[in-house]
Structure 1
Amino acid sequence: MTQSDALFDGRSFAAILFDMDGTLLSSIEAAERVWTRWAAQFGIDARTFLHGIHGQRAVDSVRQLNIPGIDPVVEAHKIMLAEIEDVEGVRAIPGAQAFVSTLPKDRWAIVTSAPRALADRRLAAAGLSPPSVLITAEDIPKGKPDPACYQLAARQLGWTADDCLVFEDAAAGIRAGEAAGAPVVVITATHQHPMQTPHPTYVDYSGLHATVRPDGRLQLGSASR
C-alpha cells in the first residue's frame, strides 16, 4: 500500500468491526416485506416508519411506534421469526466476502442489531461465514446508537474500540461508532437517498483493500473514490 492510497492518513488499526445489515449484506427487501405485513395488522402504513428501522434493534423500533396495548418484546420476537423465514433477496454487498477474507480471523468482528438466530440465517443466505466474534441484540442491554455493542466487540477481540475501525451504513450505527471513539467508514450500497456524513463513504468494497502490516495491525486503502 502506498501512502497516497492509504485512508485515515495511513493510520493503522488493531481490528475492524462491521455492522451486518446494509454493511456486509443487503436484507432491505426482506426486512421491509416482513415489517410491512406486520404493520398492516395494526392499520399502520409501513412507509411512514420503514426508513427508521434499519440499524437498530426491532424491539426499539416497535417501542418508537407507541402502539397501544402491545408488548414490544413479544412483537419483536414475532417479527424476528418472520424475518428468519423470509430471506429471499438477501445477498452479500459487492466485494464484502473478498474483503473480509483478507483479514486475520482474530482481527475482525460483526456487530449487529439483529438477534443471533436472524444474524446466522442472513449470513448463511448471503454466503458469508460468521467471524469468531459476533455481537448481536441479545449481548447488550442497549442497542445502537449506544456504543456498548462496539466496545464489547473490541474487548472480545482484545482491544479497545478507539483502536478499531468501524464499517457502518445506518445513522444509529454511525453514532454508535462515533460514541465508541472509533473512526467510521460508511457503506451506501442499500441507501436510497444521499447521506450527509463527514466520514469516508463508499458504495461497496470494490475499491477497498486492507493490508496486514508485519506487526499484525491493519491499514485501509482505496483504489479510487
Structure 2
Amino acid sequence: MIDAVDNQRRVWASWAGRYGLDAAEVYRVALRTRPIETFAKVAPDQDPRECLAALHELEDEDVRCGVYGAFDGASQLLGALPSGAWALVTSNYEHRVRGRFARTGLPVPRVIVDAAAVEEGKPSPVPYLLAAEQLGVRPEDCLVIEDAPSGVEAGLRAGMTVWGVNTAAAVAGVHRHFTSLREAVPGILAFAGLEGSAAVR
C-alpha cells in the first residue's frame, strides 16, 4: 500500500556498509526473508542481535525522516474496506508500519501480522494463515494482494487467491495480474464484498 522500495533499499545499503557487505546482494536476500534470516545468510559470523539493533536504528530513523507515498489507489481501497475485513502481513515490525501509515494518512487494519508474530516469514504460508485465523475466515476465502515473489509463494502455499499488483510483468503463480494497484481496486472491493471473504496484503 505504501511505496517504500527506495527507503528499504537505502536502509539495507546503509546496514550493509556498516558490515562491509555488498549492498546489492544483501538487498536481494532481504527481499525474500525476514531480517533475522537475512543476517544468517549474509553475515553468519555476526551477532544477530547486534545486526538487528543496527537495522532497527536505521529503519526507525527512516520512518521519522524518510519520504513516503501511498500507491495510487491505496486510499480509495482502504477507505472502502472496514478495518476488520483486511489484514496487513509484513516482514517488518508493527510500530514502523503504523508510523509509515500515519505519514501517508492511510487507515490501519485491525489485524497486523508482523515479523515478531511468527517464527517463519514469507515465503512460508504461516503469516498469511495467521492473518486468516485472526480475521476469522477460511484461507480459501481470502484474497492476497502482492508484488513480491516470496509473498506470492506464501499466499499460494496458504491456499489463498493471489493477485499481483504494481509490477510490469506478472509474478509467477498469481491468479490475476494488474500493473497498478488502482487497476485492481474494483476487483478487490468486489471480492471483499462476497460473504465470508476478506482481503489480506
Matched pairs, number: 192
**What does residue 81 of structure 1 align with?**
57
**What does residue 157 of structure 1 align with?**
135
Retained in 2: the 8 A contact 1:112–1:136? yes
Tell me how far apart the structure 2 counterparts of residues 148 and 214 of structure 1 sit (CA, whole Å).
24
Whether 2:80 is the aligned partner of 1:105: answer no
Retained in 2: the 8 A contact 1:163–1:182? yes
Q: How much is the aligned-residue C-alpha RMSD, in angstroms?
A: 2.2
Whether 2:26 is the aligned partner of 1:56: answer no
**Following superposition of structure 1 onto structure 2, how do residues 118-129 of structure 1 map, counting pairs within 5 Å?**
118-129=96-107
1:46 partner letter = A
TM, length-normalised to structure 2: 0.85
In structure 2, relative to structure 1, the CA distance for the partners of 1:180 and 1:65 (3 Å cut) is same
Retained in 2: the 8 A contact 1:80–1:118? no
In structure 2, relative to structure 1, the CA distance for the partners of 1:44 and 1:129 (3 Å cut) is same
2:49 partner letter = V
Tell me how far apart the structure 1 counterparts of residues 53 and 149 of structure 2 sit (CA, whole Å).
23
2:84 partner letter = D
Retained in 2: the 8 A contact 1:55–1:113? no
Tell me how far apart the structure 1 counterparts of residues 97 and 135 of structure 2 sit (CA, whole Å).
19
The Cα of 1:126 is off from its aligned counterpart by: 2.6
1:207 partner letter = E
In structure 2, relative to structure 1, the CA distance for the partners of 1:162 and 1:73 (3 Å cut) is farther
Tell me how far apart the structure 1 counterparts of residues 171 and 143 of structure 2 sit (CA, whole Å).
20
Tell me how far apart the structure 1 counterparts of residues 129 and 197 of structure 2 sit (CA, whole Å).
18
Deviations 1:37-79 (A, max 9, x none): 11112221202232332253212212111342x1223312321
1:197 partner letter = A
**Worse-superposed segment, 122-131 or 156-165:** 122-131
Tell me: higher relative CO, structure 1 or 2? Use CA pairs within 8 A at least 6 residues apart. 1
Q: Which runs of 5+ in 2 are unaligned?
A: none
**What does residue 3 of structure 1 align with?**
none
Retained in 2: the 8 A contact 1:147–1:179? yes
1:187 partner letter = V
- SS of the aligned residue for 2:116 comes to helix
Greater radius of gyration (CA) = 1
Tell me how far apart the structure 2 counterparts of residues 148 and 141 of structure 1 sit (CA, whole Å).
8
The Cα of 1:218 is off from its aligned counterpart by: 6.5
In structure 2, relative to structure 1, the CA distance for the partners of 1:39 and 1:160 (3 Å cut) is same
Identity, % of aligned positions: 30
**What does residue 17 of structure 2 align with?**
40
Q: Which runs of 5+ in 1 are unaligned?
A: 1-23, 220-225
**Following superposition of structure 1 onto structure 2, how do residues 1-225 of structure 1 map, counting pairs within 5 Å?**
24-54=1-31, 56-68=33-45, 70-87=46-63, 88-188=66-166, 194=169, 196-199=171-174, 200-208=176-184, 209=186, 210-211=189-190, 213=193, 215=195, 217=197
**Structure 1: 4+ residue segments shifted above 6 A:** none
* Bigger fraction of residues in helix: 2
In structure 2, relative to structure 1, the CA distance for the partners of 1:217 and 1:43 (3 Å cut) is closer
